[in-house]
Amino acid sequence: MGRVVFIGAGPGAADLITVRGQRLLAQAQVVLFDALTDPALRAIAPDARWIDVGKRGFGHATGQQAINALLVAQAQAHDRVVRLKGGDPSIFGRLEEELQALAAVGIGFEIVPGVTSALAAAAEAARPLTRRGSGRTVSFTTAMTHLGALQARRTADTEVFYMAGLQLPALAAKLLEAGWPADAPVSVVSRAGWPDAIVSEHRVATLADAGALHAGRPAVVTVGAGGAPAAASSPGTDKAQGADPTPAT
């Protein structure tokens, strides 16, 4: 019986994985990987068997129970199994279910954290998530409930919404219902960390404008203090900082 190493691959290009993640990935015999991980990571463990268990908010999906069963079966057959997840494994990554499946049969594990999308988006947009004086709290929220309903909240100075990419116009209405002012700043970043990342800047009332620009791309939506342009950021970045939605490349 082996053990499973959960590794956060980061949200984009392969070099966003941590040094520890890279070292442990290189030792893998089997890698179960998600759709949003960079195929270039295969070069780190070229002799391992790579199994696609990718799930997306849209398109092909491998059921979670099937993934759990496959993970257990691979760990029973191999010494070194890696479960490679996009971003950080503990953020909206169904990590709990997979840990429970391993615990049920006594399989050991290790978790290597990764860069979650909210952080990559903040870097991409040059919009710090905390702001001295105005942004003391940050919340990571999934816009979709486990029943598939769209839901917005206002629980922090900066609220970062995951999994809203398909429903940005509807999210704008939910944000207003949740108490966000119509002129609250919003930053939308899709494919953060990839060379073709797109950053766009909005207000809650105009968030619907982002729908077409980011269509079909994984995106996070940052609302409130951390969604505003940083006062002195323009000279240091070539990313979009103006009023117009602009590709980051």
Rounded least distance, CB 77 to ligand SAM, Å = 26
Closest CA to 211 of 242, 167, 246, 162: 167
For residue 8, count other CB atoms closer than 10 A to its CB. Answer: 27
Question: Mask 140-179, x = binds ligand SAM (CB under 6 A)?
Answer: ----------------------xx-x--------------
190: contact with ligand SAM by CB under 6 A: yes
Instruction: State how far the Cα of 83 lies from the Cα of 34, in Å rounded to an integer.
Output: 9
3-class SS of residue 202: strand
**Which residue of 21, 185, 218, 226 would you call a contact of ligand SAM, by CB under 6 A?**
218
Residues 6+ apart with CB under 8 A from 117: 11, 86, 87, 91, 162, 192, 193, 218, 220
The span of 20-28, 44-52, 168-176, 189-197 binding ligand SAM (CB under 6 A) equals: 189-197
Rounded least distance, CB 109 to ligand SAM, Å = 17
User: Distance from CA of residue 119 to its chain's centroid?
Assistant: 9
Q: Are 208 and 172 in contact (CB under 8 A)?
A: yes
Q: What residues are annotated to the active site? A: 34, 55
Rounded least distance, CB 119 to ligand SAM, Å = 8
Rounded least distance, CB 111 to ligand SAM, Å = 12
Instruction: State how far the Cα of 217 lies from the Cα of 175, in Å rounded to an integer.
Output: 21
The span of 43-51, 63-71, 88-96, 97-105 binding ligand SAM (CB under 6 A) equals: 88-96
β-strand pairing of 198-203 with 219-224? unpaired
Looking only at residues 4 through 63 of this chain, which bind ligand SAM when binding is defined by CB under 6 A? 11-12, 36, 57
Q: Are 136 and 122 in contact (CB under 8 A)?
A: no
- What are the two backbone dihedrals, phi and then psi, of residue 156, each rounded to the nearest 5 degrees? -150, 165
Rounded least distance, CB 82 to ligand SAM, Å = 15
Looking only at residues 103 through 132 of this chain, which bind ligand SAM when binding is defined by CB under 6 A? 116-117, 121
Residues that bind ligand SAM (CB under 6 A): 11-12, 36, 57, 85-88, 91-93, 116-117, 121, 162-163, 165, 189-194, 218-220
